Amino acid sequence: MSRIGKLPIQIPAGVTVSVEKDNTVITKGPKGELSQKVDPDLKVEVKDNVLTIERPTEQKRHKAMHGLYRSLVAGMVEGVSNGYTIKQEFVGVGYKAEAKGQVLEMSLGYSHDIHLKVPKEVKIEAATERRSNPIVTLTSANKQLIGQVAAKIRSLRPPEPYKGKGIKFVGEELRRKAGKTAAK
């Protein structure tokens, strides 16, 4: 058995999970509604607030799909019940971030400001306190979408290893390099 795939998913109070005829799992909760189509070979069952996924054979493909879809469905259940939050820190002199509705306006040391439109499923907040780096907070029920948006923001100015300037996740440890030393 797949170690991940065989684990049952506990459905918390306030969350409803239903399985459609075409093997689509729909989760509804206080944070929103998500759906995921599951491979037709796998069998999805909901009994007594516990969701289980079973595979028909021990083929390598079925083992891979078993763990994958169990993780995706567990992420959906967690997302609609608690939601996901990602915080990013803008480290650098003059780096600024401002959220205007679903548009994030950033000043990242380029000759121009960058405006990034964020999907409506992701809520965005930007906070700048005096004498500290700007912090952008992303919240959403969809784990995949919030990760994709965070990766896009980080790709605009990835952290560099010498001074640590760039966009990094809050709490992320960066590997620093020593700079040049003067020849004597």
Report how far residue 37's alpha carbon sits from residue 54's, in angstroms, rounded to the nearest whole number: 15
Report how far residue 67's alpha carbon sits from residue 6's, in angstroms, rounded to the nearest whole number: 8
Helices (H) and strands (E) in the chain, counts: 2, 13
Tell me the whole-structure pTM to 2 decimals: 0.88
Question: Whose structure tokens read 């083992």?
Answer: 63
Q: Report the pLDDT value the prediction gives residue 27, as an integer from 0 to 100.
A: 95
Residue ranges of domains in the chain, CATH in brackets = 9-81 (3.90.930.12), 84-169 (3.90.930.12)
pLDDT, tens digit, for every residue of 56-112?
A: 999 999 999 999 999 999 999 999 999 999 999 999 999 999 999 999 999 999 999
Q: H/E element holding 164? A: none
Does 183 score more than 80 pLDDT? no
Report how far residue 60's alpha carbon sits from residue 58's, in angstroms, rounded to the nearest whole number: 6
Report how far residue 120's alpha carbon sits from residue 66's, in angstroms, rounded to the nearest whole number: 31
